[in-house]
Amino acid sequence: MEENAAQPIELVVCDGSALILSDVVYRPTNDVDVVALARKGVLYSPAPLPDELRTASVEVSEDLGLPDNWLNNGPSQGVGGLFQMGLPQGFSERLHFRSYGSHLTVHFIDRLDQIHFKLYAAVDTGGYHVEDLRSLKPTPNELESAARWSMTHDVSRGYAFILKDFIRKFGYDDVADRL
């Protein structure tokens, strides 16, 4: 970014790379998931990613042999994206940041917000999201908060049924009963 005389940028990162850098999980990941962008403490949609960032991303991809989409806004693409549908209450106040030189600041989402996102993803797609959620060791109150938030993103009866079933199988019968 600095070499290209681009404006400094702030990314809000979630999922595997944030979990790894927060010492929660130790598994490989092929990408960095951007859930939002930030400017002066205000979050805004990362869809689309700014051209200057995409240019820098392509250069890094070529230099390091990374996949083309190693930096992506997948979690917040389209009208059903996490940013577009609404982030958990207090999300921006819980961010943890690191500066990487003069042109890049990365905000990593908090453990509580990871629980929200991971529960939603685990119910929707399963896979490594379930293990990531297990690694986060949610309390019953944290899991209930995450479940209630996820039900604002999918308001269908079918989702509520699958969510409660997942939570029971995850070992939190009391949380499922309260939903």
Per-residue pLDDT tens digits for 99-119: 999 999 999 999 999 999 999
Least confident residue range of 40-49, 70-79, 89-98, 146-155: 70-79
Cβ atoms of 149 and 129 closer than 8 Å: no
Q: What is the pLDDT of residue 78?
A: 78
Mean pLDDT along residues 140-166: 97
Give the DSSP H or E segment for 153: helix 140-153
- pLDDT, one tens digit per residue, over 117-133 is 999 999 999 999 999 99
Mean pLDDT along residues 155-178: 97
Single out the residue of 168, 114, 153, 159 nearest to residue 137, CA to CA. 114
Q: How far is CA 82 from CA 77, 100, 103, 178, in A?
A: 8, 25, 25, 24
Q: What is the pLDDT of residue 116?
A: 98
Residue 2's φ and ψ, nearest 5 degrees, are: -65, -45
Mean pLDDT along residues 80-88: 93
